[in-house]
Structure 1
């Protein structure tokens, strides 16, 4: 059956898109001007409370949906900030994103989220997409963006906050602003914790991605500095699963049977390693010490409880949001590079 054609002179259904409420309907219902309705939508802090309440009541009653695209064209602001994370399946990023979204919402901005799957090309493509959508700011995970992308971001003229890492001494400075911590330093601190407890045969299990490699770099550097020798490592292509730890431990033991301590790139892997040790009948930390990273809820719930490196993930998202809001308001964000640090948490597993 051919599609039904509607005559231009046919009456409109009440539910049809053409019968949707308009800004003029809201103004008439609230008994205010069109300018006042626009201000109530775009800059509510500049509208008297009683007037704002009347406009919002009219919007609710009429089911009016503001045309945000039209508003962004007029004000040159989309009121949207985009963030790119490697994955949405890893809970370690969720606290940062939640805090970022809440901070931005309090400032009148919404968050748009993209997933790069740990691929630099996908991250660059997402940046192009978001810039094409005229987002007002960008939040990126890590600092390992290619030179061409860094140049593009600087030329775009939008505020950018990089997160989850810090540049090494003498390395290229941030694109714009940065809030993070030293992954190399975290790796060194983990090794120092294990070495201080008498462990000399160390190993590492992590993901095959930039920040994991940096933690391994620091872990190996501290082990070498204290004369502990070679540190074998197993790197897993993301996404990393909890049951990856067992087979990787077997491979490490095949190379170095005397391993007495393993640092895992995240608490999920460390928990998987605890399960493997239980199946082998190994005491933790009697036969082998296990250390994680991130201080996720599973670290506190595991048996034995996991020693780990705590990262203030929520603070990272909140600070990133505050820096963006300050720049978008034309204010000085203060420090352009913020080190939130990390903390080694000692529990039963080490």
Structure 2
């Protein structure tokens, strides 16, 4: 319920500070014509009155805002949260903020978010992945602002990208398992079209197994993303029923891998003695579960930090602006050794 009190305006600050409203406006924009002493007096008056600068009108005049639009698939995924945190931290050093939207792994929702966020005139827009609806891509192409696709290496980038090949990252895991001595390797997840990165990981598994001359068909569906621990456990149960001689399994994420690991413990199957388990994402749980989980570190925070620095370089015209490939890291732990 409104208190009935009118918020202070620039004219109120001008009267208290003994200056004109134009000088107040210039002070909030750090105009060089305003002396430091006058600016301090204006800011003190504004603080005493509880004034909050309304940037909307200023932005309409200058056609510039102080935020970057960011679209991620999920708000409760630790990897994407780390990416946003790294991005926000870097942008914050230049007094820029992020405006966040999430798609729940739905490209149609992403399309609507792209349109809605572009209406707010961001300085740049960051999207997750390199595949979009036809209209979503067209909106990005016509946005006339920097577009950065993350968590992927698109075949045809809309603008710039900061990411990695999900397929190549899983191939690191396959190569490791084979080098250790596993041959009957399965893959859980990556079956739903909405998660294009998960699908690429599944494809990378098939390609790597085929390249090694091994059977790539031990593929277990886990349902639509995000794949939970429960779904990982259910998928592991089905894998053990369908392919009881499997000696290793790679999961689309650490959460599904933890579920698979738990199902093995429930059935009394020793890990890694009877079956090895690998995940993806280097979530905190992968380093504290028993046994600890072999995984792929996608360097999610670094993706955000590099994207933030990338955007600032583009906006300021400084630095050598070019696409950036992040190199994921294989982390070998007790579940596969």
Q: Which residue of 2 aligns with 1:344?
A: 330
Q: Quote the offset at 1:244 in angstroms.
A: 1.0
Q: Quote the offset at 1:41 in angstroms.
A: 3.3
Q: Alignment partner of 1:88: what SS?
A: coil
Q: Which residue of 1 aligns with 2:179?
A: 196
Paired residues for 1:80-159 under 5 Å? 80-159=67-146
Q: Is the 8 A contact 2:237 2:263 kept in 1?
A: no
Q: 2:236 matched to 1:249?
A: yes
- What's the CA shift string for 1:295-332, capped at 9, x where partnerless? 11111111111111012111111111122222223x14
Q: Alignment partner of 1:287: what SS?
A: coil
Q: Is the 8 A contact 1:241 1:269 kept in 2?
A: yes
Q: Is the 8 A contact 1:267 1:294 kept in 2?
A: yes
Match of residue 317, structure 1, among 304, 309, 330: 304
Q: Which residue of 2 aligns with 1:161?
A: 148
Q: Alignment partner of 1:230: what SS?
A: coil
Distance 1:303 1:48 in 2: 63
Q: Is the 8 A contact 1:242 1:268 kept in 2?
A: yes
Q: Which residue of 2 aligns with 1:7?
A: none
Alignment root-mean-square deviation, CA: 2.1
Q: Which residue of 1 aligns with 2:12?
A: 25
Q: Quote the offset at 1:147 in angstroms.
A: 3.8
Q: Is the 8 A contact 1:176 1:336 kept in 2?
A: no
Instruction: Name stretches of at least 5 consecutive residues in structure 1 with no aligned partner.
Output: 1-12
Q: Quote the offset at 1:29 in angstroms.
A: 3.2
Q: TM-score, normalised by structure 1?
A: 0.88
Q: Which residue of 1 aligns with 2:283?
A: 296
Report the count of equivalent residues.
331
Q: 2:78 matched to 1:78?
A: no
Q: TM-score, normalised by structure 2?
A: 0.91
Distance 1:44 1:198 in 2: 67
Q: Is the 8 A contact 2:233 2:256 kept in 1?
A: no
- What's the CA shift string for 1:105-154, capped at 9, x where partnerless? 22121211101111111101001101112222110000012343323212
Q: Quote the offset at 1:36 in angstroms.
A: 4.6
Change (3 A) 1:30 1:323: farther
Change (3 A) 1:31 1:101: farther
